[in-house]
Structure 1
């Protein structure tokens, strides 16, 4: 008989957690802190789920990381904002539980897991709504030293290639300024040299970056905390079936090395398998056929949601949006396949505008990515074009094309990046009417000289100005497109995950269609339906609830 694998799945545990994103790892960690024996499984051979690909921002109103002016009623003010966002789609009990518990969960993870967080000023996305905040609700992880993971660093999912520099160097928001200003500021040059030097040393000594940032830092820190408590994720282990006895969840059947394996969970199961972004059948059920691509890991095929529904769980699809939208461009690879690049911020900078196939603008380019995505999907052909002039692209890049001194010739040869000397040539390359595009540019440039956009109000609110170019006046989002050559990339609507998911209560217990909970079954992260009712009110509104309800679910099972 062959010896068992050193990481062989046990037959019995207290809590079985499915998925190694933020919600799953937080649940497993909290379970061990509560004294339970937690088993954490992951379908892929890599750890981190969509968390490792994300910006790592955590929306947690009332957190004590932010050092600015404190809101005297963070729960009440944030609840007012969520009510304005979601209307009658908001589950008030669930939302109030999240807002009440999120600060405590942040404190718990800082104190118990050693999570290091910073609190830059991130405004909510919709300043016109009551309860909006100019900053303080969102935090994100500080850079994490991946060397602390030792050989296990190789198991952590790496960021999307287009979101790193120099073939794998991770950068945080604070790194962008010194890197982009290195040729203009001695101080920035020194900081940039340190970052690049660290990365070069990492590649030489470790074969990859060890200074982890954003979502990779969050995933790495949570993994480090789990390993310190003796919890090692069981990889390449997929959920197949939820086991029920007398209406109560008692474990699950998982697939391991091609064979089924039964794990009995004395307290219950927590689902955090990433939602349904790559489940073709469920996307069709939700009316999402033909919309994509998704930036979520390809393994997020709805395993948790499907198993819970087979056990009697209800799907909540009455959300404002079933998807978390983002504009993307398709970056060709050397093998001919394409990788979606998310356009979070480039379009908001001065010197850029977006037109559709008619050659006309249709929205402010600085809307939140979730707001802009469906507008692109609704345009003729479901596509649009991001256009920038030489000055803008030199300073900010465009899509996967990097700013100066990068030449981006490979992207031009691949047809991803269009570069032409005149607007007329640009119109021909885009397949739009030259006269209409010329008129669009003339209107834009006339008003842009004064920092104005009377058509769609680009840069017209505090959020849009925040993601513009700091120090560019009078409007940080607007400049004329006047410096040839002109550049463009083709946009379509993609997603970073799903908001439709399992219906749960304020304890993250999965509910049946009649509203009763399935004892012993919890869902968190993108397996649970959006706490925000399928709206996107601010940065980090998936990771904040994922961490919070991950801890809530584990503590509920421990108390039972």
Structure 2
């Protein structure tokens, strides 16, 4: 056997929510943990996210007077995700129960480590009308974090939000209408006061997903003194007799063989920007992902080489996105398509979905429509939409959009249809029918504006339906919309302890995975805001706890071997 370069209890790959939860949980139990990050920036997709975490039954729900229970959540998951039998082992009943039972534990555990949660009491589940659904409260988000506490290390973060902008995810939908509705104006004013408060107190506050990533990094690196190495990808695993006993890790010092006494945890993201895999598993000739550019599937690949099974590889956290330009993008769109005075049509000029539905559902509708990356849709905007609401895509600069054909503009709908390249007659009929729905307040084709999720991103001052507004006032703008995503959803198949399973359904002892490196517990849908980060934290935590228990078993077995005069076996299976 080749010699080992170093030895730890737990080796963690990645620096997003799943990885850091595992590292923190294991260190809590006294384990020696080493965290390795394959890119030159820490934080992963977590740092790029909205920061919301779907943690049903968490203690904050009772504080706002919302009743929740394990039974209610499981009923809801059956209704919106499908039964475990329908979805498959990634969403087994055991994994669902483990998630639901552990979610409130993780909420309190991170509070004990200093993370302050804010309950998003107005943010509904994505299917609030289904059995077990709730119109607000299951999602929590981290309070703004002072990145000065990380010192120079913050300079290596995958920063997407300027420090000094302490945003909550709940601020974003209010800011979208900050100059057109009273509640939007109040929301914008609160953000300004929060930012000024940080400046006055000498803090460098950040929000959204960067706040969560930075807080987790602070707990691990500063409070627990866990070593974190950048530019250090896991190149291979060392598996002996079905047991993962170590890994080969790259880095500035060259390849190093690291022995683990208890386990390896893979939380290094999905394969968002691996063009070969996106084509192989999802049939895409290109990708327009808003996920971490460093997510190339390396952690999934090394586990598969050692017999690990995968699931849901054909799926992703889909969502419509404004097509990228030479200046940036793609731009994931949420509130923009839900506000009144907007509509989305295909290249024939026809609607095909509820524009206000959850982004995953809209993405699946695009796929069912046969809309590949090169077969785009158009988001058509009445002049009132441009005047009243913020459109994040235009923050890149409207000039680039028009120059590169991602946006077209016209004084009449007929001229707009010509510039879009859609059938004029079909487009005219679509607009006329949609406008009649807007006047009557009922979308008879797709039900836009029918539930609490739709109206959350609508305009409460507009009636009779806060999501429907006529497309009638020019100049009109159309933005090219492609199938985008927040990252891939498929990955390594794991059990309720986050242990990786092999292709025969057995456990690969000592190997764990969570986050987008693993196949999602919520299957092919998106139950509520934070359905990526919530399970990532929970299964990362469960992995760290299981590794600690495994380390204790290894220590006991080693002590017994020494007591009877036999040499201890290195890291036996569990």
Q: So what's the TM-score if we normalise by structure 2?
A: 0.86
Match of 2:322 in 1: 329
> Residue 306 of structure 2 aligns with which residue?
311
SS in 2 for 1:458: coil
CA contact 1:421–1:486 (8 Å) conserved in 2: yes
Aligned pairs for 1:422-437 within 5 A: 422-437=412-427
Task: Assess if the C-alpha contact under 8 Å between 2:168 and 2:207 holds in 1.
Answer: yes
TM superposition shift of 1:180: 4.7
Whether the aligned pair in 1 keeps the contact of 2:460 and 2:466 (CA below 8 Å) is: yes
- Residues 477-513 of structure 1: per-residue CA shift (max 9 Å, x gap): 0111222111110011112122221111111111111
CA distance in 2, matches of 1:385, 1:252: 47
1:225 aligns with 2:226: no
Matches within 5 A, 1:24-39: 24-39=19-34
Corresponding residue of 1:153: 154
Matching of residues 305-454 of structure 1 within 5 Å? 305-317=300-312, 322-334=315-327, 338-377=328-367, 378-379=369-370, 382-402=375-395, 408-454=398-444
Distance 2:65 2:425 in 1: 51
Contact between 1:327 and 1:372, CA under 8 Å: does it hold in 2? Answer: yes
Mapped partners of 1:184, 1:313: distance in 2 = 52
Match of 2:274 in 1: 279
Higher deviation after alignment, 536-545 or 274-283: 274-283
Deviation at 1:193?
A: 5.0
Q: Is the 8 A contact 2:178 2:186 kept in 1?
A: no
Quickly say closer, same or farther: Cα 1:92–1:474, change in 2 above 3 A: same
**Within 1, Cα distance between the matches of 2:104 and 2:379?**
39
**Contact 2:119/2:138 (8 A) holds in 1:** no
What TM-score comes out, normalization by structure 1 length?
0.88
| Match among 524, 532, 550 for residue 534 of structure 1 | 524
In structure 2, the CA distance between the partners of 1:171 and 1:401, relative to structure 1 (3 Å rule), is farther
How far is the alpha carbon of 1:129 from its aligned partner? 2.6
Residues 359, 197 of structure 1: CA spacing in aligned structure 2 closer, same or farther, 3 A cutoff? same
**2:86 is the alignment partner of 1:97:** no
Worse-superposed segment, 210-219 or 502-511: 210-219
What does residue 4 of structure 1 align with?
A: none
Partners of 1:91 and 1:533 within 8 A in 2: no
1:440 and 1:183 map into 2 onto residues whose CA distance is 27
For residues 268 and 29 of structure 2, what CA distance do their matches in structure 1 show?
22
Q: Give CA deviations for 1:110-156 in whole Å, capped at 9, x if unaligned.
A: 11243444333221112343221212211111222222222222111
Aligned length: 533
Report the Cα distance in structure 1 between the residues aligned to 2:138 and 2:122, rounded to whole angstroms.
9
Q: Which residue of 2 aligns with 1:6?
A: none
Displacement, 1:59?
A: 0.8
- Residues 379, 481 of structure 2: 8 Å contact kept: yes
Q: Give 1:287 deviation, angstroms.
A: 3.4
For residues 303 and 187 of structure 1, the distance between their equivalents in structure 2, rounded to whole angstroms, comes to 45
CA contact (8 A) 2:414 2:424 kept: yes
Structure-2 change in CA distance of 1:183 and 1:81 (3 Å): closer
Is the 1:331–1:400 Cα contact (8 Å) retained in structure 2? no
Partner of 2:513: 523
Q: Deviations over 1:284-331 (max 9, x none)?
A: 4423332632222222111111111122211124x8x62111111123
Using the alignment, how far apart are the partners of 2:234 and 2:187 within structure 1?
48
Equivalence for 1:83: 78
SS of equivalent to 1:419: strand
Of stretches 178-187 and 361-370 in structure 1, the one that deviates more from structure 2 is 178-187
Q: Work out the CA distance in 2 between the residues paired with 1:187 and 1:279.
A: 42
CA distance in 2, matches of 1:552, 1:212: 28
Gaps of 5+ in 2: 551-574
The aligned residue for residue 55 of structure 2 is 60
Shift of 1:400: 0.8
The answer to whether 1:215 aligns with 2:184 is no
Deviation at 1:367, TM superposition (A): 1.1
Distance 1:421 1:201, change over 3 A: farther
Aligned in 2, Cα 1:187/1:93: closer, same or farther, shift over 3 Å? Answer: closer
For the residues of structure 1 that align with 2:177 and 2:344, how far apart are their CA atoms?
Answer: 24
Residue among 167, 181, 190 paired with 1:171? 167
Q: Which residue does the alignment assign to 1:118?
A: 119
State the distance in 1 between where 2:237 and 2:118 align.
36
For residues 358 and 189 of structure 2, what CA distance do their matches in structure 1 show? 33
Structure 1 runs of 4+ with >4 Å offset = 167-170, 182-202
Residue 464 of structure 2: aligned partner: 474
Superposition deviation, residue 268 in structure 1: 0.7
**Structure 1 residue ranges without an equivalent (≥5):** 1-8
Structure 2 CA distance for aligned equivalents of residues 434 and 201 of structure 1: 56
Residue 121 of structure 1 contacts residue 136 of structure 1 at CA under 8 Å; is this kept in 2? Answer: yes
> Which deviations, in whole Å up to 9, do the C-alpha atoms of 1:313-350 show, x marking residues without a partner?
11124x8x62111111123234xxx4211012210111
Give the distance between the partners of 2:473 and 2:142, measured in 1 at CA: 38
- Which sits farther off after the overlay, 321-330 or 53-62? 321-330
Is the contact made by 1:179 and 1:188 (CA closer than 8 Å) also made in structure 2?
no
Per-residue CA distance 1:381-413 (angstroms, 9 max, x = gap):
6311001111111121335115xxx98445434
Look up the SS of the partner of 2:226 in the other structure.
Answer: coil
Give the CA deviation at 1:435: 2.7
User: 1:181 pairs with 175, 178, 182, which one?
Assistant: 178
**Which residue of 1 is the match for residue 244 of structure 2?**
249
